[in-house]
Structure 1
Amino acid sequence: MYAVIKTGGKQYKVAAGEKIKVEQIAADVGQEIVIEQVLAVGNGADLQIGAPWVAGASVKATVVAHGRHDKVRIFKMRRRKHYQKHGGHRQNYTELQIASVNV
C-alpha cells in the first residue's frame, strides 16, 4: 500500500518502511507525527483519489534526523563588465521514517 502526501509545498509518494527527506518540520528527533494531507492512496491496481484530500486517510511517520542538503552554488557574471557574484545555499530538511499508511 502506498500514499501520495503533501508536505512543505511538495508531493511525495510513500510506503510503509521507507525513509524520505522533506522540507524542515518543527518536531523533535524521535517524535511521531501524523500527516493528514493525503492526496491519493493506492493498493495494487486499486487507487483512491481525494478531492483534494482522501477522507479519513493519514500517514504516521517518525522523525529520524534533521540536516542540511548539499550546497547549491550560485554564480552570476556579466561578460566584459568585470562583474562576478558568488553565492550559495543549503536547504534544511527533516528525514522521516514512514511507519504506516492508514485509510
Structure 2
Amino acid sequence: MFAIVTIAGQQFKVEEGQEIFVHRLEAKAGDSVSFDGVHLTSGDAGVTVGTPNVKGWSVGATVIDHVKGDKVVVFKKKRRKGYRVKNGHRQQFTKIKIDSIAG
C-alpha cells in the first residue's frame, strides 16, 4: 500500500516503514507527527483519488533526526572587473519514518 501525501509543502509517495528526508519540521526527535493532506491511496481495495484530499485518511510518522544536506556553493564572477563572491548554503532536513497509512 502506498499514498501520495503533502508534507511541508512538497508531495511524496510514501509506504509504511519508509524513511524519507523532508524540509525541516517543528518537532523534536522521537515525536510522532500526522499528515492529513493525503491526495491518493492505493492498496488491496484499489486506488482512491481525492479532490484534492481523500477524506478520513492520514499518514502517521515518527521524527528520527534533524540533519543538514550537502553544501551548495554559489559562485558569482564578472570577468575583467575583479568581482568575485563565493557563498555556500546547507539546507536543513528532518528524517522521518512512515509508521502508518490509515483511513
The list of structure 1 runs, each at least 4 consecutive aligned residues, that deviate by more than 6 angstroms after superposition, is: none
Q: In the alignment, what sits opposite 1:88?
A: 88
TM-score by length of 2: 0.94
TM-score (norm 1): 0.94
Whole-angstrom distance in 2 between the partners of 1:8 and 1:60: 14
Letter in 2 for 1:16: E
Where structure 2 has 5 or more consecutive residues not aligned to the other structure, the ranges are none
Deviation (angstroms), 1:46 = 2.3
Q: CA offset at residue 44 of structure 1?
A: 6.1
SS at match of 1:53: coil
What corresponds to 2:38 in structure 1? 38
Q: Name the % identity.
A: 38
Q: Hey, which of these two has a bigger chunk of strand by percent?
A: 2
Q: Distance in 2 between matches of 1:36 and 1:15?
A: 15
Paired residues, number: 103
Cα RMSD between the aligned structures? 1.3
What are the ranges of 5 or more consecutive residues in structure 1 without an aligned counterpart?
none
